Amino acid sequence: MTSVRTRFAPSPTGFLHIGGARTALFAWAYARRHGGQFILRIEDTDVARSTPEAVQAILDGMNWLGLAHDEGPFYQMQRMDRYKAVIADMLAAGTAYHCYTTREELDALRAEQEARKEKPRYDGHWRPEPGKVLPAPPAGVPPVVRFRNPKDGVVGWDDQVKGRIEFANAELDDLIIARADGTPTYNFCVCVDDWDMRITHVIRGDDHVNNTPRQINILKALGAEVPTYAHLSMILGDDGTKLSKRHGAVSVMQYDDDGYLPAAVINYLARLGWSHGDDEVFSREQFVAWFDLDHITASAAQFNTEKLLWLNQYYLKQVPAPELAALVGARLGARGVDLSGGPDLEKAVALYVDRSNTLNVLADAVEVFYVPVSPAPELLAQHLSDEARPALADFATSLATVPWETAAIAALIKEMVARHGLKMPKLAMPLRVLLTGQAQTPSVDAVIELLGRERVREKLAAPTA
Ligand code: GLU
């Protein structure tokens, strides 16, 4: 049995977006699942829209997601000689032919056909047929090359997602495979590439369904093995409309900037149109072991930011503390925060990770321990009552001798509350605000323990207290 070979073939005209990443993930996983090869091909023949920055953005996105390719990246612009050689072979074999119909003649033809309410199509004027005598080529007209598409019958395939799809050959024009200047056209290059790269499974977006019959006919004319096709349905945004830039974080690297973990994004994308029973949370390895084409849904998948956040929170909690501290430390460092004057970052992130669903939320939360905090006057006014001041002062003094552990600090807070006849929030809330500038924190004894004796005493000694 031939080994599975899949490919991801992005056009470098923008970022690696969520839809492209999902396609790449499925093609990658299918190859991995079957011990096959995953090939990266950059379809850069649209010279006007392709940029080196977009190529880099795609490579960065793949790298961030951990979708390593086994072969490539191959660039179509570097394969022009090969395409031209195949076109020459097809002309020699009679599966393609020169067509001298000019753009003006085509426009006139189209106008006539439209006037007759017919579907506009090439009339086959230059198409060779048995017994047909072709006109002499006009002087000075550089010809295009057209593929000699079969006239009759149907071309179809068993789409692994959508089921049987068939097109009548009579509906398909003789596709231009080389322009008058000799450059090969998009659908043709894809065929030569899939053939040369011995692709066994084409997994791609369903915006290509209409290209597939043309590609199958060309592949057959080349004597190439026709791959298995799986066309993935589109992804809708949270609001049910087609996912687009309007939905914000469309570029994969934007998710990195926004504090998502690749593991969470991978897990999320895996469930975007594919399922394994009711399983929602699974590792990359588990996904590879389970992935198949049978359980890809034919209907559109809907993006759900809440679910992605939920998964991200789950994965954040799985990250070992030293690694999590390094990730958060890098973000704080990029903000210019000096970590040397604050508590152990590992302990800080451990205290806040349960309350954070992104690395950025976590970094925001712990940043207060490393920068000067000046509580907003409104917060102070709201939480620091006159009756709390003596308790706070008493507490600050008692801190000098309390054993520095959460339980002892908690006991001391309780003692102060009782001694000064207060309810717990009357003391806990101003402590939170004075120490972190925030009214919401994890358990205040844990925050105090984290900050350390000296820093707490300094903060409580500030004039506002
Ligand atoms: N370059 C095409 C795209 O970015 C993909 C072509 C294919 O997968 O066959 O949509």
Q: What is the CATH number of the domain that holds 135?
A: 3.90.800.10
- The count of residues in the chain is 465
Report if residue 225 sits inside a domain: no
Calculate how far, in angstroms, residue 1's C-alpha sits from the geometric centre of ligand 1: 27
On whether both 303 and 340 belong to a single domain, the answer is no
- Rg (C-alpha) for the chain, rounded Å, is 32
- Among residues 282, 302, 318, the one where a domain terminates is 318
Which atom of ligand 1 lies nearest, measured to the CA of 7?
8
Q: Are 79 and 42 in contact (CB under 8 A)?
A: no
Amino acid identity at 360: N
Same domain, 139 and 96: yes
Query: What CATH number is attached to the domain comprising 261?
Result: 3.40.50.620
> Residue 8 CA: which ligand 1 atom is closest?
8
Both 357 and 286 in a single domain? no
On whether both 314 and 333 belong to a single domain, the answer is no
Write out the catalytic residue numbers.
245
The residue nearest atom 6 of ligand 1, judged by CA position, is 9
> What is the domain-level CATH number for residue 444?
1.10.10.350
> Are 347 and 400 within one domain?
no
Q: In 247-344, which ranges are continuous DSSP H helix?
A: 252-257, 262-270, 284-290, 305-318, 321-334
* Ligand 1 atom, smallest distance to 190 CA: 9
Domain containing 333: what range? 319-369
Which of 318, 339, 356 is the last residue in one of the domains?
A: 318
Looking at the fold, whether 102 and 168 belong to one and the same domain comes out as: yes
Strand partners, 166: 156
212 inside domain:
no
Q: How far is the CA of 456 from the centre of ligand 1 (A)?
A: 58
Strands (DSSP E) contained in 139-271 are 144-147, 154-159, 163-168, 176-178, 201-205, 228-232, 235-236
Cα(69) to centroid(ligand 1), Å: 16
CA–CA distance from 216 to each of 187, 200, 255, 340 (Å)?
A: 10, 13, 37, 63
Tell me the C-alpha distance between 147 and 87, whole Å.
Answer: 9
Q: Is residue 126 part of a domain?
A: yes
Same domain, 179 and 245: no
Q: Which one of 15, 43, 195, 226 would you pick to mutate in the ligand 1 pocket, going by the greatest count of ligand atoms within 8 A of its CB?
A: 43
H helix or E strand, kind and range, residue 74: strand 71-75
In a domain, residue 362? The reply is: yes
Domain count within the chain = 4
Same domain, 362 and 397: no
DSSP 136: P
Specify whether 239 is located in the same domain as 310. Answer: yes
- The answer to whether the CB of 277 falls within 8 A of the CB of 269 is no
Centre of ligand 1 to C-alpha 275, Å, is 24
- The low-confidence residues of the chain, meaning pLDDT below 70, are 1, 245-246, 248-249, 462-465
| Relative orientation angle of helices 52-65 and 262-270, to the nearest 10 degrees | 90
- Which pLDDT belongs to residue 465? 46
Nearest atom, ligand 1, residue 13 CA: 4
Q: Is residue 138 part of a domain?
A: yes
Q: Give the pLDDT of residue 2.
A: 75
**Residue 10 Cα: closest atom of ligand 1:** 4
Q: What is the rounded distance in angstroms from the CA atom of residue 155 to the CA atom of residue 276?
A: 32
Name every protein residue with a CB atom under 6 angstroms from any ligand 1 atom: 9-11, 43, 190, 204, 208
Residue 93 domain-assigned (yes or no): yes
Q: For a pocket test of ligand 1, which of 18, 77, 193, 208 has the largest count of ligand atoms closer than 8 A to its C-beta?
A: 208
Taking residue 287's Cβ as centre, other Cβ atoms within 10 Å add up to 22
Residues 106 and 174 in one domain: yes
Kindly tell me the burial class for residue 334, based on how many C-beta atoms sit within 10 Å of its own C-beta (0-12, 13-18, 19 or more). exposed
Count CA within 13 A, CB hemisphere, residue 150.
17
In this predicted structure, what is the pLDDT of residue 251? 87
- Distance, in Å, from the CA atom of 339 to the CA atom of 333, rounded to the nearest integer, reads 8
The DSSP secondary-structure symbol of 151 reads S
What is the value of pTM for the model shown?
0.93
Query: In 3D, which of 227, 279, 232 has the Cα closest to residue 21?
Result: 232
Residue of 11, 17, 39 best suited for mutating to test ligand 1, as the one with most atoms within 8 Å of CB: 11
204, 207, 210, 215: which to mutate for ligand 1, most atoms within 8 A of CB?
204
Same domain as 95, residue 171: yes
Residue 239 is predicted with a pLDDT of 86
Instruction: Examine residue 415 and state whether it is found in any structural domain, yes or no.
Output: yes
Q: Contact 259/360 with Cβ under 8 angstroms?
A: yes
Do 362 and 382 belong together in one domain?
Answer: no
Does residue 189 fall inside a structural domain? no
For the CA of 211, the closest atom of ligand 1 is 9
pLDDT value of residue 8: 98
Distance 443 CA to ligand 1 centre (A): 52
Question: How far does the centroid of ligand 1 lie from the alpha carbon of residue 7, in Å?
Answer: 10
Ligand 1 centre distance from Cα of residue 338 (Å): 46
